[in-house]
Structure 1
Amino acid sequence: MKSAVENLSPTRAKLTVEVPFEELKPSLDAAYKKIAQQINIPGFRRGKVPPMVIDRQVGRGTVLDEAINEVLPQKYIEALQANDLQPLAQPDIEVTKFEDNETLEFTAEVDVKPTIELPSYEGIEAEVEDVTVADDDVDEQVKALRERFATLTDVERPAADGDFVVLDLKAVKDGEVVEGAEVSGMSYQVGRGGMVEGLDEALVGLSAGEDKTFSSELVGGDQVGEAVEIQVSISQVQEQELPDYDDEFAQLASEFDTIEELSADVRERLGRGKRLEQAAAARDAVLEVLLEKVSVPLPESMVTDELNARRQNIEQQLGQAGISMEKYLEDEEQTVEEFEADLDRRVRDAVAAQFILDEIAKKEELGVDQQELSGHLVRRAQQSGQDPQEFANHMFEHNHIPEMVQEILRGKALAAIVETAVVKDASGNVVELKNLRPDGTIGEPEPEVEAPAAEADEAAEVVEADEAAEESDEAPAQS
């Protein structure tokens, strides 16, 4: 077999492959056997029909087509390996020449990983915001704690913002109550939001025993987004009374004896959280500086696929939260054009970062062991709110483990870069990145975890195979 490659662009290549007819013989023999099992010819047992009879009854062209369909994927992969190409998607294959007993010629156009000239990535300098815990931040946390111990008292007055009401609510469309859009006896805090648009405004001023009807849109179910009439009535108005913030409360709500100790603990907890946020910001700032150091050609098909996937994910999340895209853009103070431009920028940066980190992981000869894979699976399961065992089983069953391995390698590459970086806050202080895990994620060190017992050995095999599969024809995982 001979092959040649033509670079159509920095991210797309065209392979021209020539396969001598003698290399087709194994596939041709397999095609005859397969067809012999599928046809019934008088005088011959199934599977024992001679090739010459198959040629006469079925046609030599059918056999050749079957053989080509089998050999093309094999020769395509061989050509990729021979030319050191890493494909990002399925190829567009075209048979350009083929006659019986003659050389088979075909072309394959495919998006490929771009060649990247890595810049120096040691000692990158970046800057992040200062860590500050304002008194207002502490007060907000203290208020939330007090609300957990608050009491509700019935009041004989109209409902106001912050009050609790016991309400009955139903959505009506064309005179009929919408199925699944009716609740009764529900306690709700006025101003909390999270239900139908316009509810809080309708509740303010209502007294126990009164009702109101207003127009809104459904936020869930099969009829999400449809205009309906909302009928709401309240049977109770309750005022929230917060406990005094004193030493007695500190002893009730915590292990501390005084509010000074409790407030100090709240401030310390907030500080730890903000330092985690700062560590994440430092990691991202380092990556941003690295992206500015190198120009990465991007395959537009990959960018488009990722754009569509992210856009769909955002729309699904908004739908689950009962928020329309128009409302979201209004809250974000963005136009559609600004939203699309920002999404496009973020996607292009993410795709470019993948290519750069993959190259660094390869250069640094980074690997993934079973323990690292197990921990990553557990974190991913926790992030998606799934049972770790079920999540791991799903990943193995659907062959997503190579994607998980690639995610870990990219995280380790980023962690290696950040380790040598010099990150300062706005005040000029060097940021200690103690909360950066070896895989690039942010958080406290985790206890050791085990992969699902049934898949433990398989996980180790997959990790080893993935590290040796640079010429795989799978696209890289999207992050």
Structure 2
Amino acid sequence: MIVKNVEKKDGNLVTFQVEVDKDEFEQAVGSAYQKNRSKVSVPGFRKGKAPRMVIEGMYGASVFYEDAIEEISPNAFSKGVEENDLNVVGRPNITAADVSDDKALTLAFESALYPEVELGLYKGIEAPREEISITDAQVDEYIDEIRKRNARKLSVDRAAKLGDTVTMDYDGYLDGTRFDGGKAEGAELELGSGQFVPGFEDQLVGMKIGDEKDIDITFPEDYHEGLAGKAVVFKVKIHEITELELPAADDEFAKDVSEFESLEEYRKAIFEQLVDSRKKAVDEDFGYVVMQKAVENMKCDVPTAMIEERMGEMINEYDRNLMSRGMRLEEYMRMSGMDPVAFQNMLKPQAEAQVRTDILLTAVAKAENIEVSDEDVDKAIADIAAAYHATVEQIKEMVPSEAMAEDMKKKKASDLIMSTAVPTAPVTEEAKEEKPAKKSPAKKTAKKADAQSEAAAE
């Protein structure tokens, strides 16, 4: 094989040709004949027994070319990539396949290249970070939720009020005609929970057992197609009204619902739990903003092939998750009112963001000379195997050591970015309105980014 006419183009693309000599192509054609002869019917011969020249005489000399090209093209493409040290991504395209008179083959390939990256500021990024503050009221709210879960339901014979649960029948009409999904019998609804369309629950307040009422509402504009923005009437009949009898918040309650002996100890544990939960959320928000800024500071033209590849991975993951719950992706899209194109468009921004973050972390790992040892990789694989009750060999089949090493480098790069990030006080809406934007910090940041880019280049 001879590689020629290698040309890198705008948009992170490369094209090249590979000439396959006639002997090598003839071998591929012969292999294609062996694979396909059993599928070809030729009068006078048993199926699979017709000589190649007879089949070619009937169907043309090129009858096996397509399969031969399919067989030989991966090696031809790899030859071009290796000889020219190309960092390709995605699936290559065969843009031309020509067979000469002497039966030699010339293949033309086009492929996306891993993009060139110019890092901007990624160390010392400033981002707002909320102070963690948990109040007694929040602890009370948490305890009230636990009390509700342990409450008794009592039937009452009075007008319904917010907080009550009503059992009802309802029947929805659009322009005087019943609409799909608008009818139910014995439905339970907690008034004030916001489970139904806005305006529905409020109109149930004051109704009593046996009452019937027409409830007029208008569906929101963002409701699903067919009812969005439409005015409808629900005919409602109340069958039962219940209220919750909450247990007292005392030491006995604490003993019943926790391992603590007193309400005071239980409140302290809840406080610590809420602080821990809030800290995780704040750290996650802070990390997201920092990483987003680092990505925005990076200059990189991301190939469409990388985004499409990530979208494919996301779609497969969606399908696996849905299958574990007894649903297929096609069914989910139909229920969500989306076709495949709309579903892909929904995933595309997230896929691009993930790809850009991966590119950033890979570039930072390279700029910072981040490495991981074979021992570290082996330990990480062993830890995963232990966590999933699998063997090391099984994990390596799913995640090769090289891929694990790259993921570990990116994790170290992420840790570096976060360890140097600078938390700042959150800017309130009032402060934004009162304080005009300044230009100097932007200039200062730009200079800092330039300096860091130069340092990375060195």
Which TM class, normalised by the smaller chain length? 0.5 to 0.7
Query: CA offsets, 1:101-158, max 9 Å, x none?
Result: 2542222222232133567977877663222213332222122122223334444432
Change (3 A) 1:143 1:407: farther
2:3 alignment counterpart:
3
Question: Is 1:288 aligned with 2:292?
Answer: yes
- Cα distance in 2 for partners of 1:354, 1:34 equals 41
Quick check: 172-181 or 409-418, which moved more? 172-181
Contact 1:130 1:426 in 2 (8 A): no
Query: CA offsets, 1:226-269, max 9 Å, x none?
Result: 44653322122233343333334333433333332222111111
SS at match of 1:69: helix
C-alpha deviation, 1:353, in angstroms: 0.8
Question: Is 1:356 aligned with 2:360?
Answer: yes
1:37 alignment counterpart:
38
C-alpha deviation, 1:28, in angstroms: 1.9
* Unaligned 5+ runs, structure 2: 319-328, 339-344, 427-458
Task: Give 1:95-244 correspondences, 5 Å limit.
Answer: 95=96, 97-116=98-117, 128-171=129-172, 182-214=183-215, 225-227=225-227, 229-244=233-248
Task: Give 1:417-428 correspondences, 5 Å limit.
Answer: 417-418=414-415, 421-423=419-421, 425-426=423-424
C-alpha deviation, 1:218, in angstroms: 9.5
2:443 alignment counterpart:
none
- Cα distance in 1 for partners of 2:63, 2:23 equals 18
- Cα distance in 2 for partners of 1:106, 1:229 equals 67
Task: Give 1:394-409 correspondences, 5 Å limit.
Answer: 401=398, 409=406
- Cα distance in 1 for partners of 2:132, 2:346 equals 26
- Cα distance in 2 for partners of 1:375, 1:127 equals 38
Which of 243, 256, 262 aligns to 1:258? It is 262
Change (3 A) 1:97 1:248: closer
Tell me the number of residue pairs that the alignment of Structure 1 and Structure 2 aligns.
387
Question: Is 1:413 aligned with 2:410?
Answer: yes
Q: Structure 2 length as normaliser, TM-score?
A: 0.67
SS at match of 2:34: helix
Contact 2:169 2:185 in 1 (8 A): yes
Change (3 A) 1:152 1:256: same
1:81 alignment counterpart:
82
Radius of gyration: which is bigger?
2
1:92 alignment counterpart:
93
Q: Which amino acid aligns with 1:89?
A: G
C-alpha deviation, 1:403, in angstroms: 10
* Unaligned 5+ runs, structure 1: 326-340, 379-387, 390-395, 429-479
- Cα distance in 1 for partners of 2:47, 2:196 equals 67
Query: CA offsets, 1:361-386, max 9 Å, x none?
Result: 6864554754455578x6xxxxxxxx
Q: Structure 1 length as normaliser, TM-score?
A: 0.65
- Cα distance in 1 for partners of 2:308, 2:217 equals 35
State the percentage of identical aligned residues: 26
Q: Which amino acid aligns with 1:90?
A: R
Across the aligned residues of Structure 1 and Structure 2, the Cα RMSD in angstroms comes to 4.7
- Cα distance in 1 for partners of 2:304, 2:348 equals 11
Contact 1:161 1:191 in 2 (8 A): yes
Quick check: 162-171 or 37-46, which moved more? 37-46
Contact 1:89 1:110 in 2 (8 A): yes
Q: Which amino acid aligns with 1:235?
A: H
- Cα distance in 1 for partners of 2:384, 2:115 equals 27
- Cα distance in 2 for partners of 1:66, 1:248 equals 77
Contact 1:286 1:418 in 2 (8 A): no
SS at match of 1:298: coil
